[in-house]
Structure 1
Amino acid sequence: MLELIHSIVNSEEHIDLHQFLHQLRWQNKSYLLRNDILDAFNDYCKSLQKPESFRNTSQVSKLIYHTQEIILENETCCLVVRPRIGHQQVFHIAEDLQVEPMSVQELLDLRDRFVNRFHPNEGGIFEIDFHPFYDYSPVIRDFKNIGKGVQFLNHYLSSKLQESQQLQEKLFKFLSLHNYNGTKLLINQHIQNHQQLSQQIKLALDFLNSYSPTTPYTEFRFELQDKGFEAGWGNTAGRIQESLELLDGLIDSPDHQTLETFLSRIPMIFHIVLVSLHGWFGQEGVLGRPDTGGQVVYVLDQAKNLEQQLKEDITLAGLDILNVQPKVIILSRLIPNSDGTRCNQRLEKVYGTKNVWILRVPFREFNRKLTQNWISRFEIWPYLETYTIDAEKELLAEFNGKPDLVIGNYSDGNLVAFLLARRLKITQCNIAHALEKSKYLFSNLYWQDLEEKYHFSLQYTADLIAMNAANFIISSTYQEIVGTPESAGQYESYKCFTMPELYHVVDGIELFSPKFNLVPPGVNESYFFPYTKTDERFYSECDRLENLLFNLEDPNLVYGKLDNPNKQPIFSMGRLDRIKNLTGLAECFGKSEELQERCNLILVAGKLRIEDSADHEEASEIEKLYRIIEQYNLHGKIRWLGVRLSKSDSGETYRLIADCQGIFVQPALFEAFGLTVLEAMISGLPTFATQFGGPSEIIQNGINGFYINPTRLEEMAQVILEFVNKCDHNPDYWLRVSQQAIDRVLKNYTWKIHTARLLSLARIYGFWNYTSKENLQDLYRYLETIFHLVFKPRAQKLLAQHIQR
């Protein structure tokens, strides 16, 4: 980018760059983000009547396109440029267009000055820099491969196995470690080193050739033990032969595919902890309460399917003879004043499972007025260290030993996962779901102004600790990590930032680390399945739900009576908050008379009355929705259901809309993933979803769904109308998009795919962690230093405030 800027400065275009920067100084803003910059550039081009070629292909336009921030200071400006995904450059441009690169430290100092929090005469500021700690680890080079960490790691490990006798010995020792409740697995004392292992594998393979592939392991178990091989290789002669051939190949001529397939078979995961700490966590009566929703649904579905996958893996490994029983525990918080929910129960079995439990551990009673009740996710930080100590004891008792894997959810759960993993020396996986830092603009810059309400200094410090400590990180989408060519990702926002007067993050996360992996969640196929599966549908509920959707007149449940219930339905379902933007969809519908003539709008959106909501933002959106209905006179054309549907009702509702050849619209201003998008698509509904965030990776535009820009309402209406018109001219068009939506989900977004991939990752990163653990100690000490010197004092300060309440 420096070459591009120099090229501009040394060409006729330097006049345009100079005039554009000069024009920016006359605006009210001194800190411009990308959208501001693009708008200002369009205004500049319009005011000077610049040709289209200049706007789109000039060198100045290319620079503007890649500029993420412009900070104006005195007669100079700073350009933060993102030439490609995962990379950032910073330049200082003087009034006379003299250009100099700026260091990260200089950029952070400038941002501090912008908010008047810079004190150069009072010494330096604590700098956090994780870059040196990734020197031990291989790093992905091509940004297109970010999120494919395990593939990269397998290539790296297999090449090292080929080169290093030491790593082969580590593989032997790793296989020798495994046991279940004290019973040896895989390799016994008859094999003492990796050379002997290679010899015995060949003897075992010759022995297995005399058996039919379907011969049960129990028929030759003791003969294999004499050769040094215990249970865990397979349940039949054929399966064991496959496993030993894979290992033989790894020893003689390792390759990445063999390594992944082999490590994915190792029986090393039996007991799993899922940490979902904040909010009301339960199976009934919790959805719709503060800090719950998609997280509860996700974790419950994940836990159930992990148990099922573990059972399958245990059977295939031949461990039924040892009566190996998997166990999954969802670790959450016990809330004594549980308001009619089961959140005051220590232990609750998860429905439809054999050995999946919700284990609730209380916060210690520092102030019973607080700790006896639910505490907001923004306020729980002072309790997490003592909670971890108490939870560790409870988990050891429930598992009768250590778990094998801990999976954190959200910032608080990931911090507890880090603390548990350090204490128990087990593999740690992080799932962020959504990082708050991306939601609140400039929240790190103005953290002191927001601290009393949000305590971002604690949350962002916890995020930095947990994401760098994790052995592997699961992301639902590529964008979650590094965004798009136009915008930075959620994790990328932690790469470089300042918390003025607290610390500077010079390098907060290695985005090219192989710890990042894309493993999107699945859709629960027990409730959400195609409308065409007539033999599986809940027809006993159809009449009730159909009446609710189209005809029922009950002011407590429904607002709006449809003049013509037979019109094609436009359907949406979600929370009434600003980001979900259901009011934006209503306004889009209101602005398009043609849409109103052709379709009805049906919304399932929580509450109908302002007085029923304790959430300020929800109350504001309720008021806004009523205002839109009146403004555009939508009476008879819109139906608003103030209900919260169960999973089974939600699934049948999607299918009833599909029966009417309706469509589903997800109009969020930003969506980290988009579970409702999956639910609608697998039901067979042509789906229109926001282009901002995860849905743009789920949907293939124009094939199995459609992108919409929720900030451009007329354009959004036009996209929907084009589909409706195509369906009129070609009745098979709706059916084609519907079937392609179903196929897309079944191929890529099932819980079976998710859990199999997650357990494969846990095994592979478990091996990687074992082979590189000596190199990780410096990182862990650094993380503990940040925890004890930054996080803990601030948490104790907040606790002191809680005690006084």
Structure 2
Amino acid sequence: MTEPDKQLYIQMFSIHGLVRFQNPELGRDADTGGQVLYVVELAKHLSRRPDVRQVDLFTRLIDDPRVSDDYGRPVEQFSDNCRIVRIQCRGKRYMRKELLWPHLDEYVDKVIKFIKKQDDIPDLFQGHYPDAGYVAMRLSELYGLPFVFTGHSLGIPKKQKLRNDGMRESEINKKYNIETRIQTEEQILKKADLIVTSTNQEIEDQYGLYKNAKTPEYKVIPPGIDVERFHPYYHDRLPEIEKSEFCKYAQASLLNQMERFLMYPDKPLILALSRPDKRKNISGLVQAFGEDRELQAMANLAVFAGIRKDINEMEENEKDVLTRMLLMMDRYDLYGKMAIPKKHDVEYEVPELYRIASEKRGVFVNPALTEPFGLTLLEAAATGLPLVATNDGGPKDIIGNCENGILINPDDPGEIADAIRKILTDEELWQQYSKNGIMNVRRYYTWDSHAQTFTEAVFQLLDERFGSSRQQRASAREKSVGKRLSKVNFFLITDIDNTLIGQDNNDLAELIQWLTENRAKVGFGVATGRRSESAMEILEKHGLPRPDVVISDVGTEIYYGRDLQYDPGWDTHIAHRWEPEKIKNTLKQFSFLKFQDQAAQRKYKISYDLNPGKDRIAKIHDALTKNKIRYTLVYSHEKYLDIIPYRASKGKAIRYLSYKWEIPLSHFLVSGDSGNDAEMLRGEQMGVVVGNYSPELEELRGVNKIYFAKAPSSGGILEGIRKYRFTGAGSPKNRKKS
């Protein structure tokens, strides 16, 4: 019986590609490969464990006529406690992963909304590949929970390989957004509680290239395979095993596809199965076969290079690989000796494909230039098919453990051909490799063992951070920013100078008491022109509680909690069409503008001193507009002028908080005293102008849901709380006051 405090809720993230439970379209493109199979199988097998209560696999929602309707379903249920959750991000069209980087903070925000709506916070976040790693990292920071990362492939090795292939650095970055990816991977290494890898080589030769390589803890947990699906080829001969109609149909379909190409289809089969990617080195295998007449005489070659309809409609990488394969087939005159089918069904046909090759006493070849793991090697081995594979990464571990094949240099076609020939011509060696593969895959590489090792590592993480009981973990989660903001239903946000804190602070103690008494349901935040550090200093000086949210620098930055966690989602949102240098150059012409010192300038705020004068503000607006600059202008206290992005302001930041944390705007009470508060006072939220307000706010008098208090500063805020009956019960009592 599972202990009640051993019930894990795991949120996994694998954002790009096409992810579904049934019949994944592996090989369709560069983004739908082994990672999809990995995350789907991991989710399924984790959910079957008695110590796991829920597994959610998050990916991107796609509604695009070019792909199946399956990818547009917001939730796809595998079992009662396992589902795929699809979150819309950067529209609904299917796109390659490199285009999603600028939109990952949007994804984070929508996951937060999902978590609050379901009112259930996980025990950890796991990211697969650096895009999902970024999302999981941000969520772990907000909710104070462990972050586990599985890279699948890494940016620095990819960049090195592309440069070695002759691609220019500028071209690499433009096409693959590689610098953003590498910087994110460095961040992940600093923040991750655990990095899960498939091999030791991955740790040493790939992660070892990063500055922060020594920071995280690593755990080698090889992926597994479904040994029921990939059963040995000879099982179908056993009288007690009835082959399913699906499998019979799949086998017949595959044989029919290959026989269309092959003159002598009964010969041993050299099989390759991979995405049409240059790193997979399909051309190296075709060259090895094409240059060896003896090998052509004794065997056929079948290359299943993804799923294709029209090569001309594919991405450049895939198009180049497939075009070269066809040209090499023609160059070496391999007609009748080489099969290149256009599609294969992953669910039923792929297992049968391995078994067909085994029945024909063939060999499976993975000649990849680099191979982080190589799941197809395990699949082939489990059916009894011997291996020839690249002497790199995962294949070294797999063949080392299973003793079922030969490692080769993928750059040497002759070595590839010799290894294939050696296995095909030695029946005793073929039988030994076949038997070893079947037995040792089941010994070393099953999803059940992977899931067990993974959950053991997770429980160890949780025990080290929170203690071993559910109560301890729940208590720790309660203290996190994410949990706190998921629970509050109301928010008080106020300016600091001359609003929250003024010359007369007699009412401040009462406001502090009210905030303390209502903390369970009311969040507290400040919106200020100050920098975040300066805001915290003055709040601490006056004995105010640490705010849940700090909107600083006139609404251009947002921070959360005691540790001032920065919100990059807001940063991403307001960066659109922000042109600071163009703004500075445009405003140089005005002698009445005095550029404030450098400490006042921020990434998204340009600050000037401006004394009142006829038409000065109008002239600034006119100059910026004529230069087609998008901006927001904030003028306050008849002295300070700030130019910020057109998407930024205190009010827009509050609306962003309302959206992100699912708190209705009508549940926000905001207060201010000057012109830089005007925009945040307007709208659906409840606005309070304190009694000591600046003249520029007089224009708001009479505007709906804006109350002009008589009392100054914190007394005015208390007056507004009473006026609006903010939060109902718990509002400060009316007092007699002159």
Which residue number in structure 1 is paired with residue 459 of structure 2?
A: 763
Could you tell me how far 1:770 is from its partner in structure 2?
Answer: 3.4
Query: Aligned pair 1:466/2:188, yes or no?
Result: yes
The within-5 A match list for 1:314-333 is: 326-333=53-60
1:736 aligns with 2:432: yes
Structure-2-length-normalised TM-score: 0.60
Shift of residue 518, structure 1, vs aligned partner: 0.1
Q: Structure 2 unaligned runs (5+)?
A: 469-475, 482-558, 580-629, 631-645, 647-738
Q: CA deviation at 1:787?
A: 9.6
Q: Is the 8 A contact 2:390 2:407 kept in 1?
A: yes
Amino acid corresponding to residue 463 of structure 1 in structure 2: E
Name the SS for the 1:414 alignment partner.
Answer: helix
- Match for residue 274 of structure 1? 12
Aligned-partner Cα distance in 1 for 2:71–2:11: 18
Cα distance in 2 for residues equivalent to 1:661 and 1:539 = 23
2:71 counterpart SS class: coil
Does the 8 Å CA contact 1:349/1:357 hold for their aligned counterparts? Answer: yes
Answer whether contact 2:109 2:569 (CA < 8 A) is retained.
Answer: no
Cα distance in 2 for partners of 1:537, 1:623 equals 41
Quick check: 2:251–2:352 contact (8 Å CA) kept in 1? Answer: no
Letter in structure 2 aligned against 1:271: Y
Give the 3-state SS of the residue equivalent to 1:747 in structure 2. helix
Within the candidate set 605, 610, 618, 2:305 is matched to 605
Q: Tell me if 1:388 matches 2:128.
A: no
Q: Is the 8 A contact 1:382 1:799 kept in 2?
A: no
Number of positions where the alignment pairs a residue of Structure 1 with one of Structure 2 = 485
Contact 2:57–2:85, Cα closer than 8 Å, also in 1:
yes
Q: Aligned partner of 2:436: which letter?
A: Q
Change over 3 Å in CA distance of 1:377–1:461 after alignment to 2: same
Displacement of 1:647: 2.1
- 283, 301, 314: which is aligned to 1:583? 283
Shift of 1:583: 2.2
Aligned equivalent of 1:492: 208
Spell out, residue by residue over 1:618-640, the C-alpha distance to the aligned partner (whole angstroms, 9 max, x if none): 22222211221222121221112
Q: Which residue of 2 aligns with 1:672?
A: 372
Contact 2:63 / 2:71 at 8 angstroms: preserved in 1?
A: yes
Indicate the larger mover: 436-445 or 337-346. Answer: 436-445
Matched residue, 2:415: 715
Structure 1 residue runs of 5 or longer lacking an equivalent are 1-216, 218-230, 234-266, 315-325, 364-369, 483-488, 496-507
- The answer to whether residue 292 in structure 2 is matched with residue 570 in structure 1 is no
> Aligned pair in 2 of structure 1 residues 567, 452: CA closer, same or farther (>3 Å)?
closer
The one of 321, 346, 355 aligned to 2:74: 346
Q: Residue type of the partner of 1:766?
A: L
Question: Aligned partners of 2:364, 2:331: CA distance in 1, in Å?
Answer: 24
Kindly indicate whether the alpha-carbon contact (under 8 Å) linking 1:549 and 1:602 is maintained by their aligned counterparts in 2.
no
Structure 1 residue identity aligned to 2:399: I
Counterpart contact for 2:159–2:172, Cα < 8 Å: no
Give the corresponding residue for 1:436: 155
Deviation at residue 544 of structure 1 after TM alignment:
4.2
Residues 224 and 447 in structure 2, CA contact (< 8 A), matched pair in contact too: yes
Q: Is the 8 A contact 1:689 1:707 kept in 2?
A: yes
**Of residues 213, 221, 225 in structure 2, which corresponds to 1:509?**
213
Give, as a single letter, the amino acid of the residue that structure 1 aligns with 2:41. D
d(CA) in 2 for partners of 1:305, 1:654: 23
CA distance in 2, matches of 1:338, 1:425: 40
- In structure 2, the CA distance between the partners of 1:798 and 1:574, relative to structure 1 (3 Å rule), is farther
8 Å CA contact 2:199, 2:220 repeated in 1: yes
Letter in structure 2 aligned against 1:509? A
Alignment match of 1:455 (pick from 149, 171, 177) = 177
Paired residue for 2:39, among 270, 293, 299?
299
Name the SS of the counterpart of 1:371 in structure 2. Answer: coil
Q: Is 1:232 the equivalent of 2:3? A: yes
SS of the counterpart of 1:383? helix
Residue type of the alignment partner of 1:479: Q
Per-residue displacement from partner, 1:426-449 (whole Å, max 9, x unpaired)?
221111111122112288997655
RMSD of Structure 2 on Structure 1 (CA)? 3.6
Q: Which residue of 2 aligns with 1:592?
A: 292
Residue 726 of structure 1 deviates from its aligned partner by 2.1
Match of 1:415 in 2: 134
Correspondence for 1:694 among 394, 419, 435:
394
Aligned counterpart for 1:681 among listed residues 377, 381, 385: 381
Structure 2 residue aligned with 1:186: none
Contact conserved, 1:558 with 1:641, CA < 8 A, in 2?
A: yes
Q: How many angstroms does 1:540 deviate by? A: 2.8
Larger radius of gyration: 2
Q: Does 1:632 align with 2:354?
A: no
The answer (yes or no) to whether the contact 1:610–1:619 under 8 Å persists in 2 is no
- After superposition, the Cα gap between the structure-2 partners of 1:643 and 1:419, relative to the gap in structure 1 and judged at 3 Å, is same
Return closer, same or farther for 1:786/1:736 CA change in 2, 3 Å cut-off.
farther
With structure 1 as the length reference, what TM-score do the two structures score?
Answer: 0.55
Query: Contact 2:384 / 2:434 at 8 angstroms: preserved in 1?
Result: yes
In the alignment, structure 1 residue 523 sits paired with structure 2 residue 212: no
Q: 1:293 to 1:595 in 2, by over 3 A?
A: same
Q: CA deviation at 1:477?
A: 0.7
Cα offset for 1:703? 3.0
C-alpha displacement of 1:700: 2.2
Mark the CA change 1:543 to 1:526 in structure 2 (over 3 Å): closer, same or farther: closer
Q: C-alpha separation between the residues in 2 aligned to 1:662 and 1:272?
A: 41
Match of 1:228 in 2: none
**One-letter amino acid matched to 2:105:** E
CA contact (8 A) 1:382 1:796 kept: no
CA-to-aligned-CA distance 1:462-488 (integer Å, 9 cap, x gap): 211222211111001111111xxxxxx
Mapped to 1, the partners of 2:146 and 2:339 lie a distance apart of 49
Deviations 1:14-44 (A, max 9, x none): xxxxxxxxxxxxxxxxxxxxxxxxxxxxxxx
Rounded to whole Å, the distance in 2 between the matches of 1:687 and 1:667 is 10
Task: Specify the alignment match of 1:540 in structure 2.
Answer: 245
Distance 1:282 1:356, change over 3 A: same
- Structure 1 456/605 Cα, relative in aligned 2: closer, same or farther at 3 Å? closer
1:278-293 to structure 2, matched below 5 A, reads 278-283=16-21, 286-287=25-26, 288-289=28-29, 291-293=31-33
Asked whether the equivalents of residues 411 and 462 of structure 1 are also in contact (C-alpha less than 8 Å), the reply is yes
Aligned residues of 2:58 and 2:87 also touching (Cα < 8 A): yes
Q: Within 5 A, what are the aligned runs for 1:769-788?
A: 769-770=465-466
Query: SS at 1:521's partner residue?
Result: coil
The 1-side partners of 2:193 and 2:174 are apart by 33
The answer for the alignment partner of 1:371 in structure 2 is 91
Equivalent residue number for residue 424 of structure 1: 143
Distance 1:395 1:574 in 2: 37
Kept in 1, the 8 Å contact 2:29–2:306? The answer is no
* Identity score, percent: 27
Relative to structure 1, is the Cα distance of residues 605 and 799 closer, same or farther in structure 2, using a 3 angstrom cutoff?
farther
Q: Structure 1 CA distance, aligned partners of 2:180 and 2:563?
A: 15
Matches within 5 A, 1:126-137: none
**Separation in 2, partners of 1:694, 1:795:** 40
User: Structure 1 residue 405 and structure 2 residue 124: aligned?
Assistant: yes
Instruction: Tell me the distance in 1 between the aligned counterparts of 2:73 and 2:25.
Output: 14
Q: Is the 8 A contact 1:710 1:716 kept in 2?
A: yes
* CA-to-aligned-CA distance 1:76-111 (integer Å, 9 cap, x gap): xxxxxxxxxxxxxxxxxxxxxxxxxxxxxxxxxxxx
Give me the whole-angstrom Cα distance separating, in 1, the residues matched to 2:268 and 2:339: 13
**2:355 touches 2:384 (CA, 8 Å); kept in 1?**
yes
Residue 358, structure 1, aligned to residue 84, structure 2: yes
Q: Describe the superposition over 1:162-216 as per-residue Cα deviations: whole angstroms up to 9, x where unpaired.
A: xxxxxxxxxxxxxxxxxxxxxxxxxxxxxxxxxxxxxxxxxxxxxxxxxxxxxxx
Relative to structure 1, is the Cα distance of residues 792 and 456 closer, same or farther in structure 2, using a 3 angstrom cutoff? Answer: farther
User: Cα 1:785–1:380, aligned 2, differ >3 Å: closer, same or farther?
Assistant: farther
